[in-house]
Amino acid sequence: MYNTLFTSCLLGKSCGFSSGSFSFAKLVTKPKQRAIHEHVTYNFEMTNKTTLFGLILILTFLGCDSFEKDFYAKIDNGQKLAIEKNSEITFDLSTVTPFEWTKVLIVHGNESVPVLASKIEPHLNQKTTDLELNMDRYYFFTSDNELIIKEIESGIMVHYPAIEFEECIGQVEDFFKSYSKNEAIFTLIPNSKKIGGGTVFLFPNCETKFDRNNFGIFYKE
């Protein structure tokens, strides 16, 4: 079982908290802005080792890390370099995580229905929450039995260029991609030479279905 650090993203920021007592600003959404309306304090107590999840918290505090901002900045810059240099670019997921981890489970949301917690939980062996529309969630597993969660806007539905993770041979579920830290050193390949357009494909450091050497802008007829 894993202890849990809850994180979510707001305005490009992610905050990590271990289980226990903490407080957060309750937020509501208005057009083009998010305002803090009231301050609420929650106390969580772990009743047993299997009850590790409560709410996914939407937080914005000074000192929080900026996983979403750093992640997409790295993708955007990688696409730009790949197009300008006409060469594959390496994207190492660990360079945008200010913590140590051993493997990651990436759950991709969609635009029509939430991904139900009951579908995610078998991959975690513990409780979690539904993944809402147009969101992606990253579950990072650490060596000291912690689970760190980052939730960001969908790389497929919301971000431009769109982002598509290729799976290692043997993975079969489209919405779930699992990689070791070594496998999460990706080869970044755009399928368009328009910066900010098309799709960026991320090939993990493992055997994949498609040939990364003959793909996207490097495709040879």
**Residue 183 confidence class, pLDDT cut points 50, 70, 90:** very high
Q: Is 93 helix (H, G, I), strand (E, B) or coil?
A: helix
**Residue 37 confidence class, pLDDT cut points 50, 70, 90:** very low
**Residue 18 confidence class, pLDDT cut points 50, 70, 90:** very low
- Judged by average pLDDT, the poorest of 1-5, 108-112, 150-154, 214-218 is 1-5
The arithmetic mean of pLDDT across residues 78-83, rounded, is: 94
Amino acid at 1: M
C-alpha closest to that of 18 among 28, 4, 30, 31: 4
pLDDT at 76: 95
pLDDT at 155: 83
- Cβ–Cβ under 8 Å, residues 4 and 50: no
Which residue range(s) make up the domain with 31? Answer: 3-218
Q: What span, in angstroms and rounded, lies between the C-alpha atoms of 74 and 89?
A: 11
**Residue 38 confidence class, pLDDT cut points 50, 70, 90:** very low
pLDDT at 166: 92
- Cβ–Cβ under 8 Å, residues 78 and 147: no
C-alpha closest to that of 9 among 102, 89, 109, 100: 109
Task: Output phi, psi for 14, to 5 deg.
Answer: -130, 145
Please tell me which residue, 186 or 109, carries the higher pLDDT value: 186
The answer, yes or no, to whether residue 6 has pLDDT greater than 80, is no
**Residue 172 confidence class, pLDDT cut points 50, 70, 90:** low
Q: Is 149 helix (H, G, I), strand (E, B) or coil?
A: strand
As a whole number of Å, the CA-based R_g of the chain is 18
Domain total for the chain?
A: 1
The reported pTM is 0.72
Q: Which helix (H) or strand (E) holds 77?
A: helix 67-85
- Judged by average pLDDT, the poorest of 41-45, 75-79, 133-137 is 41-45
**Residue 5 confidence class, pLDDT cut points 50, 70, 90:** low
